[in-house]
Amino acid sequence: MTQRPIVVCPLKFEQRRLERAGVGDVCELHCCGPGEDRLGAWAHALDAQDRLIILAGLAGSLDPELPAGTAWMVQEVVGEPSDRRWTPQALDQAEPVSTTGPRAVVMSTRAPVTSNVSRQAHRENSQATLIDLESARFAQIATARHWPWAIIRGVSDDLSSALPEKAADWVGPDGRTCYPSVMRSLVAKPALIPVLVTLRQHSLEAMEHVAALIMRLAKSTR
């Protein structure tokens, strides 16, 4: 695999953090926008040419052993229903993932899950440890097209720091932060200010670790 890997991020924030970390020097960075539909549209237009394709960005944690601020190489993707599962093909060519720590198993939903009660229910039903909006669709498409693929997710929020209810309104369809929506939420509920500060700090820390894992994977699959 001699061509540069392609890394796709749902959010512009994620793409910019990877650029700042130097990932753009070894990978081609894309932003598809949030959600499975925009991920699907991006994938439909992609000419992969047998290149490694990595979905990278932020996710929520369903397991206390995967705390906010960390990042993980996903080992399994859970679909709907939960008996639909995929294993990232690129892991066959990469350095072995440690078997001593928690397993990174990601599931996807159509909309962000902000309630801890709902998160715990998803955990019990699927045995997943991470939750996002895009991984299941990405895994389905990548497998059908025989792409070498992987998923790397950083944890922006965990069971002790769940997303605010209006978080879905803070990002536009192109993946860019919608600052007027953020400000309206903060004006309506000033108590969200420290929550947002913590979310940003966790996201920055997590994306640093995501960048390191991408560089490791890109090196090990050359």
Evaluate whether 153 touches 59 at the Cβ level (below 8 Å): yes
- pLDDT tens track for 16-71: 999 999 999 999 999 999 999 999 999 999 988 789 999 999 999 999 999 999 99
Closest CA to 51 of 26, 68, 18, 75: 26
Rounded (10°) CA dihedral 206, 211, 212, 218: 140
Lookup: tokens for 112? 């962000």
With bands split at pLDDT 50, 70 and 90, how would you rate the model's confidence at 98?
Answer: very low
Which residue type, as a one-letter code, is found at position 94?
A
Specify the fold of 6-220: Rossmann fold (3.40.50)
What are the boundaries of each domain within the chain?
6-220
Calpha distance 130→60 (Å, rounded): 6
Which residue type, as a one-letter code, is found at position 114?
T
Lookup: tokens for 76? 């399994």
- For the cut 70, the answer to whether the pLDDT of residue 185 exceeds it is yes
Evaluate whether 133 touches 57 at the Cβ level (below 8 Å): no
- For the cut 80, the answer to whether the pLDDT of residue 1 exceeds it is no
- pLDDT tens track for 115-162: 888 888 989 889 999 999 999 999 999 999 999 999 999 999 998 877
206: CB partners within 8 A, 6+ apart? 58, 68, 69, 70, 71, 154, 155, 156
Evaluate whether 72 touches 104 at the Cβ level (below 8 Å): yes
| Three-class secondary structure assignment of 148-185 | CEEEEEEEEECCCCCCCHHHHHHECCCCCECHHHHHHH
With bands split at pLDDT 50, 70 and 90, how would you rate the model's confidence at 101?
Answer: low
